[in-house]
C-alpha cells in the first residue's frame, strides 16, 4: 500500500517509525536492535544495500528534523549493523 510518509517518495520507499523525540533523548538499545532487525529483513526482502541511499532518514527526502538529531547521528552505526547481519563487507569507519 502506498503511504504518505515522504512526499514524492511514497511509491518507492518504506517508512519506519521509531517512537520518541530523538532531539532530546537517544533511542534505547532495544529500539536500535529492533530497527536493525527490521532493516535487515527489509533490505533482504527488497534486495537493498543498507548504505546512505538504501537506508535514509526522513530528513534526507523531506523538509523535517525527523528522525531527530540523536537517532540521525546513529544511522551510520545502524547501517553497519545491518550490513554485518547481511554478511556484506563493512565500509571503513565513518
Residues 6+ apart with CB under 8 A from 4: 10
Residue 5 lies in a domain: no
Say yes or no to pLDDT of 7 above 70.
yes
User: What is the number of domains present in the chain?
Assistant: 1
Cell of 67: 528522525
DSSP 61: T
Domain containing 77 equals: 10-86
Q: Tell me: the pLDDT tens digits for 32-74?
A: 999 999 999 999 999 999 999 999 999 998 899 999 999 999 9
Residue 55 lies in a domain: yes
Which has more confidence, 2 or 73? 73
Confidence of residue 1 (pLDDT cuts 50, 70, 90): low
Residue 92 lies in a domain: no
- State the Cα–Cα distance between residues 89 and 83, nearest whole angstrom: 7
Say yes or no to pLDDT of 10 above 90.
no
Residue 60 lies in a domain: yes
Give this prediction's pTM: 0.89
25-44 in b/e form (b: 16+ CB < 10 A) is eebeeebbeebbeebbebbe
Residue 2 lies in a domain: no
Residue 3 lies in a domain: no
Residue 17 lies in a domain: yes
Amino acid at each position: 500500500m502506498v503511504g504518505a510518509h515522504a512526499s514524492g517518495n511514497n511509491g518507492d520507499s518504506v517508512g519506519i517509525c521509531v517512537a520518541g523525540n530523538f532531539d532530546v533523548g537517544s533511542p534505547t538499545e532495544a529500539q536500535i536492535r529492533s530497527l536493525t532487525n527490521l532493516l535487515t529483513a527489509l533490505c533482504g526482502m527488497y534486495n537493498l544495500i543498507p548504505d546512505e541511499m538504501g537506508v535514509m532518514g526522513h530528513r534526507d527526502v523531506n523538509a523535517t528534523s525527523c528522525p531527530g538529531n540523536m537517532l540521525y547521528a546513529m544511522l551510520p552505526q545502524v547501517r553497519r549493523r545491518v550490513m554485518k547481519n547481511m554478511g556484506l563487507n563493512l565500509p571503513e569507519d565513518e
